[in-house]
Amino acid sequence: MTLSERPHQKYKTLSTEAATFVLRAVAKHSPELAQAVVDCGALDALVISLEEFDPGVKEAAAWAIGYIARHNAQLSQAVVDAGVVPLLVLCIQEPEIALKRVAASALSDIAKHTPELAQTVVDTGAIAHLAQMILNPDAKLKRQVFSALSQIAKHSVDVAEMVVEAEIFPAALVCLKDPDEYVQKNVATLIREITKHTPETGVMAAENLGVPQLAICLEEEQEDHIKAATAWSFGQIGRHTPEHAKAVAVANVLPKLLNLYLDTESSEDLQVKAKKALKSILQKCTYLPALEPLLYEAPSNILKHVICQFSKVLPHDSKARRLFVTSGGLKKVQEIKAEPGSAIQEYINAINSCYPEEIVRYYSPGYSETLLERIDNYQPV
């Protein structure tokens, strides 16, 4: 390029960026305006801009593409059909941080709508390149990376497993403590999206995340939205099988969830998610030592799930029946005031039927007074 050509090239770049900025400004306002941008043939121009050498032009084009794609699946499909996804994946491999951010954001906007669109992003190898950036020091980039991975993982078991297999854990756990609250939130969302699918993804998440590490997060995290997402994740892991529930229970998660549910300082969302997680885990948990403390602390709407699990396990486990007596559990159950005919009363009846009648009477409230009365009324021969 000669000296005389350089100003011309500079002005061309500036005019391209300016035109792309206008397209972005129009497209962001509504699906109808974004569709008008597509209908006028602008996607072809944006694809050409993504292939430009200048990173500023690429960034402007990626931004406009994201604004078009985010509205709905139809517009996102139009973007995909124009061939932008491989170019966006190339953009996240460029050295410029600003370009990486916008390209990752655009991939997130494309992937979020349908499993098919997410699969298109996956098929270009995006997961591996996104996974490589999760410990990048730039907070705004990490926000977009975790958002994109979440939007991919949410659609199906297969893609969720691919995200886990990209070895994002345990490194992603570090980002639960990131100073940037949006990074924290997006990591927690990613964990939630991965663990929600099936027992298999629950196992993969448990193995890769480490339930004890998540339990620490539940206890030490200050932000309610992070604790809410973590509670939700525990519910998703624990609801699959008794083994999953036990893995969660032995990490002492149940009392923590109960405290978050009962704490008046907890946000409404956190209380709701903690309550749902508790119920999901309790309905699968057959590990009685972890359930017994809840007999003394849980309100009636949670307590009925605890009593239900004891009523299922005790009839088939003689050792557990003995421990339930010596630990004070049977005595505590007799103290529960349940409405006749209620579900919890039926569970209590099932537990009592596991023991001789005199044992149940012995641990029932008022029995000691009855014995004392018998002593008072007893007349020695």
Residue 7 — very low, low, confident or very high, per pLDDT cuts 50/70/90?
A: very low
* Cis peptide leading into residue 170 (ω within 30°): yes
| Within a domain: 12 | no
**pLDDT for 334-348, tens place per residue?**
998 888 989 999 999
Check whether residue 302 and residue 347 sit in a common domain: yes
Q: Would the pTM count as exceeding 0.75?
A: no
Rounded Cα distance, 84 and 92, in Å? 13
| Within a domain: 55 | no
CB 233 within 8 A of CB 188: yes
DSSP letter assigned to residue 313: H
CB 73 within 8 A of CB 113: yes
| Within a domain: 123 | no
| Within a domain: 2 | no
CB 257 within 8 A of CB 293: no
Structure tokens that stand for 208 in this block: 């890769």
In this predicted structure, the answer to whether residue 77 has a pLDDT above a threshold of 50 is yes
Residue 202 — very low, low, confident or very high, per pLDDT cuts 50/70/90?
A: low
Which tops the pLDDT comparison, 306 or 5? 306
In this predicted structure, the answer to whether residue 1 has a pLDDT above a threshold of 50 is no
Tell me what pLDDT residue 54 has. 85
Rounded Cα distance, 119 and 124, in Å? 9
Tell me what pLDDT residue 177 has. 77
Which tops the pLDDT comparison, 235 or 203? 235
Residue 199 — very low, low, confident or very high, per pLDDT cuts 50/70/90?
A: low
Q: Strand, coil or helix: what is 14? A: helix
In this predicted structure, the answer to whether residue 3 has a pLDDT above a threshold of 50 is no
225-247 mean pLDDT = 84
Residue 174 — very low, low, confident or very high, per pLDDT cuts 50/70/90?
A: confident
Residue 311 — very low, low, confident or very high, per pLDDT cuts 50/70/90?
A: very high
Check whether residue 327 and residue 308 sit in a common domain: yes
For the chain, give the mean pLDDT. 83
Maximum mean pLDDT: which of 25-29, 110-114, 364-368: 110-114
Check whether residue 303 and residue 357 sit in a common domain: yes
Q: Strand, coil or helix: what is 317? A: coil
Tell me what pLDDT residue 143 has. 94
Tell me what pLDDT residue 207 has. 55
Check whether residue 279 and residue 300 sit in a common domain: no
| Within a domain: 121 | no
What is the maximum alpha-carbon separation in the chain? 128
Q: What is the CATH number of the domain that holds 268?
A: 1.25.10.10
Tell me what pLDDT residue 371 has. 62
Residue 257 — very low, low, confident or very high, per pLDDT cuts 50/70/90?
A: very high
Check whether residue 333 and residue 269 sit in a common domain: no
Which tops the pLDDT comparison, 16 or 230? 230
CB 334 within 8 A of CB 365: yes
**Which domain does 245 fall in, by range?**
209-285
In this predicted structure, the answer to whether residue 313 has a pLDDT above a threshold of 70 is yes
- Work out how many domains the chain is built from and give that number: 2
41-59 mean pLDDT = 83
- For the chain, percent of residues with pLDDT exceeding 70: 84
Check whether residue 298 and residue 369 sit in a common domain: yes
| Within a domain: 217 | yes
**pLDDT for 84-141, tens place per residue?**
999 999 999 999 999 999 999 999 999 999 999 999 999 999 999 999 998 899 999 9
Rounded Cα distance, 359 and 201, in Å? 45
Tell me what pLDDT residue 204 has. 60
CB 233 within 8 A of CB 195: yes
Last residue of a domain, one of 217, 252, 285: 285
Of the listed ranges 46-60, 144-158, 317-331, the least confidently predicted one is: 46-60
CB 295 within 8 A of CB 333: yes
Check whether residue 253 and residue 317 sit in a common domain: no
Check whether residue 315 and residue 279 sit in a common domain: no
Maximum mean pLDDT: which of 60-64, 163-167, 193-197, 301-305: 301-305
Last residue of a domain, one of 261, 285, 309: 285
Tell me what pLDDT residue 109 has. 92
Last residue of a domain, one of 262, 285, 308: 285
Residue 22 — very low, low, confident or very high, per pLDDT cuts 50/70/90?
A: low
Check whether residue 313 and residue 345 sit in a common domain: yes
Check whether residue 319 and residue 281 sit in a common domain: no
CB 118 within 8 A of CB 157: no
For 98, 145, 180, the CA distances from 138, given in Å and listed in that order, are 10, 11, 10
In this predicted structure, the answer to whether residue 148 has a pLDDT above a threshold of 50 is yes
